[in-house]
Amino acid sequence: MTSPSSASVRRINKEFADLQENPIPNLRCSLANDNLYQWNCTVAGPRDSVYAGGTFHFTLAFRPDYPFQPPTAQFTTRIYHPNFDLEGNICLPILRPQAFKPSVKLRSILEQVIHLLVEPNPDDPLSPSIAEQYNNDRPAFEKIARDYVQQFAKS
């Protein structure tokens, strides 16, 4: 692994400070073991979603060449969602290396993660069977998603 550049350190520090000074509602981020390149994040399930009442934890990991490569985001709280897999990986187009641009701010990435909780994207799933259920049997999807919140995301 290459060592981080000073530009990378400055950029992450600036964005982290911005999120501390102007937090996104219902989202908290902290450094994991004081490591600027590893963040622990917590988001409250949005009120207008099947994830309401849950508390979800995820990590953000930055590569040394950030912002030229996207961070990786991974949920550590189990979630029933078409855009997440069993390992907690997130299907978010903005995080794909071929689509990521250095101008993308972390705030935008975090807001898009929250938006996925309100409005899943079954057309770009990581879990095709859940996407199929979301499209074809929404009541069953919502029941299972709420059951997961009760079982895995209660704080």
91 carries an active-site annotation: yes
pLDDT digits (tens, 9 = 90+) for 53-65: 999 999 999 999 9
pLDDT confidence of 2, banded at 50, 70, 90? low
Task: Choose the catalytic residue: 91, 113, 116, 126.
Answer: 91
CA triplet 96, 25, 50: central angle to 5 degrees?
Answer: 75
Residue 135, CA distances (Å) to 30, 50, 63, 125, 140 in order: 35, 15, 35, 11, 10
Beta-bridged to residue 39, according to DSSP, are: 31, 60
pLDDT at 75 over 70: yes
- Which amino acid, one-letter code, is at 87? E
Residues 105 and 24 sit within 8 Å (Cβ to Cβ): no
Look at residue 106 in the predicted model and tell me its pLDDT. Answer: 96
The structural domains of the chain, ordered by start, are 6-153 (3.10.110.10)
Instruction: Quickly count: other Cβ atoms within 10 Å of residue 115's Cβ.
Output: 13
The pLDDT mean for the chain works out to 94
Look at residue 5 in the predicted model and tell me its pLDDT. Answer: 75
pLDDT digits (tens, 9 = 90+) for 10-27: 999 999 999 999 999 999
